[in-house]
Amino acid sequence: MSSNRPSTRVRSSDWKIKPFPRNQTNTVAWNVPLSPTDISSLIVGFRPKDMDDKWFIYSEGPDRQGKLRVNFHRSWTGLKAAQVVVDVTSGSEHVGSITWDNGEQAGRQSLDEVKGIIAGAFKWVLGVELSETAAAVSRVSGL
């Protein structure tokens, strides 16, 4: 999938997307180190060619506090599956937290399942390999 990566930054308006369902999200800390090269891939995001690519990924920011919000939407429904907040402050780049849809439509996934799915999207879609500890939390099929 990563061969479809755009050369310009993906915007939220590039795909028909929907927000998280109301009152159906969980947020937890997720401390995973990243490199400056990883940050560039997260900023650019991913625009699917078609729904078979499974993910539409775009980022917002970074804001004044150095926070980049990376949004993961399922390409076929446009539903927001997760948001990862990344600290892009030079020298301390890392994933800080993850928020995910924990509603019935998303299958009420556990934290380990969600981390596994998002770690897979980082690797196979964005070309960013999370540390083995973070990625090994769960080896689930979600891509």
| Helices (H), ranges, 1-143 | 36-44, 111-124, 132-135
- The predicted-structure confidence for 74-96, as pLDDT tens digits, reads as follows 999 999 999 999 999 888 899 99
DSSP reduced 3-state for 97 = strand
Domain ranges of the chain: 23-135
- Structure-block tokens of residue 45: 């995001």
Cα–Cα dist 118/124, whole Å: 10
- The predicted-structure confidence for 11-64, as pLDDT tens digits, reads as follows 999 999 999 988 889 999 999 999 988 999 999 999 999 878 999 999 999 999
Other CB atoms within 10 Å distance of the CB of residue 91: 5
- The predicted-structure confidence for 91-134, as pLDDT tens digits, reads as follows 889 999 999 987 666 567 888 999 999 999 999 999 999 875 45
- Structure-block tokens of residue 32: 């995973």
0.75 exceeded by pTM: yes
